[in-house]
């Protein structure tokens, strides 16, 4: 026997019995017996199958009711085989969107007194694409995640942004990670937009939330997995110019806690998985940062600037009074949220409270602080389980410089009863948007009707 396989002498011919061989040299109870050609081939096939079974091969791990897809598991070595501990999975998603905006006003006036035009919009775009690699290396507790993120909304020459973290998982209760990640303030922001009830996140969330930044965070689950938390410190509320050019050494601090006492609520705000028993989530978030005032976002497509409730960037000259120019301020944000899912019905709610103060800059500020608040609500019903879903949504932002609102709804079609492919048709009425981000349907000061058709493919 060579390499564990039976051997034969070619001089005997393949159609004749081969000399006797030992089938199992470690088993003295089995005598040497002659083998036919068919028996030899069968033993060879068994040995090949045994060896192939020990070689890690790609396999796909799809999304479940409560967890996002791990994706294509390219490699996963097992320490029990004496291999170097290493795993890598490939995942990602793409949003293809047709966005049309029909204005109902021709212009708006910002708080600096400048007249701004309101334009009609009609565009096709790869709204977002994300390619991610994640796993562990050297030790199953040493995890990593790296993603490439981009959009054509900023033009085909726009750069691709790297996002990623590496860290150590001490237990389910404590993981420590560091890298470029989203600043975890507000519930809707920390949930992937691929699981959004509609085409995208809300106007209120786009207005209030931070963005991405380099930083470090602790996360985990307590009380048998019912209580979740994320607490971290980042360079700033965004990783763009305000994070790089900030004055001093102050950083952004956030805390995020949510409780799911009746079991996992699952992905996003819709209940396309059809919970047999009610599931609820109660949560709160908070953020504090000393922030540099800049009128332009960073390079990450998700970056957005801090604005007043009429849509004016706080750093714009004259925004806070004649001949005023804000250079630096303190940003405080708090939110409370709740969600409920049961038999295809999903309800989610979040309310925000934001205070901007400690203004520094040139000129006289007409206010020493600015307090804004607002919220969002989604109501969805999967009228055909795991297939067709209708929903309504609304959000509002109000403050000393005005009030903006959106309301509307649409339909989701989950192709093949899966979250991995979803077609969305949505209509929104937007009145005096205080938010702006070119990935979203929001432009500062715009009033009109937004229509979006979107296909999301997630793997």
In a domain, 355, yes or no: yes
Q: Are residues 168 and 24 in the same domain?
A: no
Q: Are residues 46 and 66 in the same domain?
A: no
In a domain, 2, yes or no: no
Global pTM reads: 0.86
Q: Are residues 256 and 212 in the same domain?
A: yes
Q: Are residues 173 and 40 in the same domain?
A: no
Q: Are residues 329 and 345 in the same domain?
A: yes
Categorize the per-residue pLDDT at 207 as very low, low, confident or very high, splitting at 50, 70 and 90.
very high
Give me the pLDDT at residue 81, please. Answer: 64
Looking at the structure of the chain, the number of domains it has is 2
What whole-number distance in Å separates Cα of residue 268 and Cα of residue 188? 8
Q: Are residues 47 and 103 in the same domain?
A: no
- Could you tell me what percent of the chain has a pLDDT over 90? 75
Task: For 33-68, give one letter per residue: b (16+ CB within 10 A) or e.
Answer: eebeeebbeebeeeeeeeeeeeeeeeeeeebeeeeb
Read off the pLDDT of residues 341-359 as tens digits, 9 standing for 90 and up.
Answer: 999 999 999 999 999 999 9
Q: Are residues 209 and 308 in the same domain?
A: yes
Q: Are residues 24 and 90 in the same domain?
A: no
| Host domain of residue 292 | 59-458
Q: List residues bridging with 257 in a β-sheet.
A: 229, 284
From residue 110, alpha-carbon distances to 146, 325, 331, 359, 393 in Å are 40, 15, 21, 20, 27
79 close to 445: Cβ distance less than 8 angstroms? no
Q: Are residues 260 and 333 in the same domain?
A: yes
Q: Are residues 43 and 73 in the same domain?
A: no
**151: its two tokens:** 């959009």
Question: Is pLDDT above 90 for 439?
Answer: yes
Give me the pLDDT at residue 13, please. Answer: 37
Question: Is pLDDT above 80 for 240?
Answer: no
Give me the pLDDT at residue 23, please. Answer: 44
Read off the pLDDT of residues 59-71 as tens digits, 9 standing for 90 and up.
Answer: 898 998 888 998 9
- What CATH number is associated with residue 405? 2.40.160.10
In a domain, 243, yes or no: yes
**Alpha-carbon torsion (189, 270, 221, 261), positive or negative:** positive
**41: its two tokens:** 């081939």
Q: Are residues 364 and 254 in the same domain?
A: yes
Q: Are residues 288 and 406 in the same domain?
A: yes
Categorize the per-residue pLDDT at 18 as very low, low, confident or very high, splitting at 50, 70 and 90.
very low
Read off the pLDDT of residues 88-115 as tens digits, 9 standing for 90 and up.
Answer: 999 999 999 999 999 999 999 999 999 9
């Amino acid at each position: 026997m060579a390499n564990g396989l039976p051997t034969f002498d070619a001089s005997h011919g393949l159609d004749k019995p081969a000399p006797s061989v030992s089938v199992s040299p470690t088993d003295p109870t089995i005598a040497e017996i002659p083998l036919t050609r068919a028996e030899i081939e069968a033993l060879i096939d068994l040995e090949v199958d045994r060896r192939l079974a020990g070689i890690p091969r790609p396999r796909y791990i799809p999304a479940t009711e409560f967890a996002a897809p791990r994706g294509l598991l390219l490699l996963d070595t097992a320490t029990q085989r004496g291999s170097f501990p290493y795993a890598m999975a490939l995942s990602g998603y793409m949003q293809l969107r047709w966005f049309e905006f029909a204005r109902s006003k021709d212009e708006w006036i910002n708080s600096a007194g400048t007249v701004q035009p309101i334009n009609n919009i009609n565009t096709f775009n790869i709204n977002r694409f994300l390619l991610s690699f994640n796993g562990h290396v050297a030790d199953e507790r040493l995890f990593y995640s790296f993603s490439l993120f981009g959009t054509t909304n900023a033009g085909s020459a726009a750069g691709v942004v790297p996002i990623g973290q590496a860290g150590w998982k001490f237990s389910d209760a404590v993981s420590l990670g560091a890298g470029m990640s989203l600043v975890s303030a507000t519930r809707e922001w920390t949930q992937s937009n691929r699981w959004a009830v509609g085409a995208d996140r809300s106007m209120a969330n786009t207005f209030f939330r931070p963005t991405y930044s380099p930083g470090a965070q602790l996360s985990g689950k307590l009380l048998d997995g019912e209580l979740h938390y994320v607490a971290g410190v980042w360079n700033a509320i965004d990783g763009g110019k305000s994070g790089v050019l900030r004055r001093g050494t102050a950083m952004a601090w956030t805390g995020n806690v949510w409780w799911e006492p009746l079991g996992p609520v699952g992905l996003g705000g819709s209940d396309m998985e059809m919970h047999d028993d009610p599931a609820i989530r109660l949560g709160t978030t908070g953020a504090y940062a000393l922030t540099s005032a800049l009128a332009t976002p960073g390079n990450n497509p998700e970056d957005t600037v801090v604005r007043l409730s009429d849509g004016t960037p706080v750093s714009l000259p004259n925004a806070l009074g004649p001949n005023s120019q804000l250079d630096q301020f303190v940003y405080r944000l708090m939110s409370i949220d709740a969600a409920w899912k049961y038999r295809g019905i999903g309800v989610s709610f979040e309310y925000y409270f934001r205070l901007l103060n400690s203004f520094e800059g040139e000129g006289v500020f007409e206010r020493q602080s600015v307090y804004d608040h607002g919220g969002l609500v989604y109501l969805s019903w999967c009228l055909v389980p795991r297939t067709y879903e209708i929903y309504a949504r609304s959000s509002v932002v109000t403050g000393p410089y005005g009030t903006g609102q959106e309301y509307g709804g649409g339909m989701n079609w989950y192709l093949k009863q899966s979250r991995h492919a979803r077609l969305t048709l949505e209509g929104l009425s937007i009145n005096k948007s205080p938010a702006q981000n070119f990935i979203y349907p929001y432009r500062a000061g715009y009033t009109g009707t937004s229509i979006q058709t979107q296909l999301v493919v997630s793997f």
